[in-house]
Amino acid sequence: MMNAPLKYVTKELFMGVIWAFLILLLIFAPGLWAEAVDFVYANF
């Protein structure tokens, strides 16, 4: 299978992607919430 360093880098990359996703989610949360509210008021 994978050797140890490659396994380590892959794991860190995987964690990095999740971290970045959560950070972006945190940054865009107010905007996404606002869009959601707009969408609800515009369509329902």
Partner 1 sequence: MSILTTGFGKAGRAWTWFTREFLKVTLLRVAFVALILIATSSWIKVRTQTYFSAMTMPPSFRHVDVIHREAFLLEYLRAHNLDENTVVVFGDCVTFGHGVKRSYTDYLEIPGKRVVNVSMQSFQVNLMSVALDYAIKQGVTDFIVQLHPFENYPAEQGSWTSITRSNPTNSGTDPESDLDYLKQSRVNWRVQSVAQNPKLYQIGLFEVRKPWIEFSQYLRYDFLSKLKIFATRYAFDDWSGLDKTYYSYRTFRRDNFKKQLPTERQISIIEKKPAFWRYFIVKDKEEFVKLANYASVPKRLATILNDKGLKGVFIMVPTFTKVMAEYSDLSVKDMQTSAEIYGNIVRAENQKYINLLEDPELTAHMYHYDNLTIEGQKLMGKKLSGMLAEEFK
For binding to partner 1 (CB under 8 A), which residues are involved? Answer: 8-9, 12-13, 15-20, 23-24, 30, 33-34, 37, 41-42
**Residue 24 Cβ vs partner 1, minimum distance, rounded to whole Å:** 7
**Closest distance of CB 12 from partner 1, Å:** 4
Dist CA 28 CA 33 (whole Å): 9
Both tokens assigned to 24: 């972006």
Place of tokens 């008021």: 41
Q: Would you give the DSSP letter of residue 1?
A: -
Compare residues 1 and 14 and give the one whose CB is closer to partner 1: 14
